[in-house]
């Protein structure tokens, strides 16, 4: 259900909740009324704008204080709290490289993450480019954002040892635009201990420079030249593109995370200097897909190359090797989770049995073939 007026949405939910057997998913602009929509009968209340802001922030820093909506299938697998996460459950965590951490300017080969921690890097971002099969010669630097895959406790050990997750206390971010997206990013960064300066044409009750983010003097007044991160979150793609150009010119080493409102703007923002771009219309669709498909498969991530990372439970009574599933479908299998075992980067000769869960990567056609094999 998509409606801009939360009061009208609540009225509709009250009217249909006794008549529908399926889940009621309400898409809203603001989350401030979410509890009332839950009271009215909505099973899920989602704000694509708020979630986009959180995603942008999480490409700036790892957020040990952040939260995830636990009722949306799959989100628990792509978030982690380093103070609490333990155990053998497999996780896929996106982590930007933080200045000053041990891993900086080392190659993946030199890091030896699998040998030391049992963690792999199945894909990464570098200099605005998504790499689906990173080679061991890739050097990680401040333009790099890694996807770490492994057991929860192993990822926590990796983060503490190599990625300096406590080193963000002196970080500073400029947030251009303080609507729903900018506010979501602000809340996430604030929870991580990152101080923020907001640039917006309207006055808000935060540290702020009132003005236009396209204005060079305004950005300088907001201290863009000393900032580690810049969140570009306005609702006009042309403004976002120009603000990105100016931020990159004023601070060549800043990490820029930008919002795109239309698909054609994504590539332009990368060319303008953004390190990561979140496409707003896609965020809500991904959350809805997670909920609708939960009974068949758990979607963990939709990758920029249109591949998906899924978790599928095995229900077959005939044990098969991974090699058989790979040959039949073409997917890439990065992990197995079952009773008493969690296997990262499994051998193709590994046998799947009923009760196992498989983490696979592939395009839509490959994954359809894979799912039908069960």
Mean pLDDT, residues 144-163 taken together: 92
Q: Which pLDDT value is given to residue 66? A: 45
pLDDT of residue 287 exceeding 90, the answer is no
Q: What is the model's pLDDT at position 70?
A: 45
| Between residues 318 and 256, the one the model is more confident about | 256
- Under the banding of pLDDT at 50, 70 and 90, the label for residue 5 is confident
Tokens of 62: 């790892």
- pLDDT of 304 reads 80
Question: What domains does the chain contain, in order, with CATH numbers?
Answer: 6-46 (no CATH), 83-162 (3.30.70.1450), 169-283 (3.40.50.720), 306-372 (3.30.70.1450)
Q: For residue range 80-92, what is the model confidence (pLDDT) as tens digits?
A: 766 655 678 899 9
Arithmetic mean of pLDDT over the chain = 88
Q: Residue 322: exposed, middle, or buried by beta-carbon count in 10 A (0-12, 13-18, 19+)?
A: buried
Q: How far is it, in rounded angstroms, from Cα 237 to Cα 355?
A: 47
pLDDT at residue 276 greater than cutoff 50:
yes
Cα 293 to Cα 142: distance, rounded to the nearest angstrom: 36
* Tokens 């251009």, residue located: 176
pLDDT at 48: 87
Between residues 288 and 14, the one the model is more confident about: 14
The pTM (predicted TM-score) of the whole model is 0.79
Q: Calculate mean pLDDT across residues 209-220.
A: 95
Average pLDDT over residues 227-233: 94
Query: Does residue 169 register a pLDDT over 60?
Result: no
Paired tokens of 43: 């099973």
| Residue 65 clears pLDDT 50, i.e. is over it | no
């Amino acid at each position: 259900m998509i409606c801009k007026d939360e009061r009208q949405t609540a009225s509709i939910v009250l009217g249909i909740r006794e008549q529908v057997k399926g889940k009621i998913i309400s898409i809203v602009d603001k989350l401030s009324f979410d509890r009332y929509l839950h009271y009215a009968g909505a099973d899920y209340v989602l704000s694509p704008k708020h979630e986009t802001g959180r995603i942008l922030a999480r490409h700036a820093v790892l957020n040990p204080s952040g939260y995830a909506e636990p009722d949306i299938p799959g989100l628990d697998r792509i978030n982690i709290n380093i103070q609490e996460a333990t155990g053998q459950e497999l996780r896929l965590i996106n982590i930007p490289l933080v200045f000053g951490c041990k891993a900086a300017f080392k190659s993946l080969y030199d890091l030896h993450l699998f040998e030391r921690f049992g963690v792999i890097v199945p894909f990464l971002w570098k200099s605005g480019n998504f790499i689906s099969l990173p080679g061991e010669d890739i050097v990680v630097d401040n333009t790099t954002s890694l996807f770490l895959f492994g057991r929860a406790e192993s990822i926590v050990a990796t983060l503490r040892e190599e990625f300096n997750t406590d080193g963000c206390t002196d970080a500073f971010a400029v947030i251009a635009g303080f609507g729903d997206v900018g506010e979501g990013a602000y809340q996430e960064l604030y929870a991580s201990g990152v101080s923020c300066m907001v640039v917006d044409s309207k006055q808000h009750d935060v540290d702020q420079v009132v003005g236009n983010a396209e204005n060079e003097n305004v950005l300088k007044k907001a201290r863009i030249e000393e900032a580690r991160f810049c969140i570009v979150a306005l609702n006009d793609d042309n403004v976002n593109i120009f603000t990105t150009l100016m931020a990159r010119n004023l601070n060549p080493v800043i990490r820029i995370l930008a919002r795109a409102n239309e698909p054609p703007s994504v590539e332009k923002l990368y060319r303008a200097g953004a390190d990561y771009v979140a496409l707003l219309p896609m965020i809500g669709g991904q959350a809805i897909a997670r909920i609708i498909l939960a009974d068949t498969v758990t979607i963990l991530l939709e990758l920029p190359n249109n591949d998906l990372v899924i978790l599928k439970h095995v229900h077959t009574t005939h044990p098969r090797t991974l090699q058989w599933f790979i040959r039949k479908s073409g997917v890439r299998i990065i992990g197995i989770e079952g009773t008493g075992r969690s296997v990262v980067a499994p051998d193709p000769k590994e046998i799947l049995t009923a009760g196992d869960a498989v983490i696979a990567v592939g395009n839509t056609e490959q994954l359809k073939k894979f799912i039908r094999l069960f």
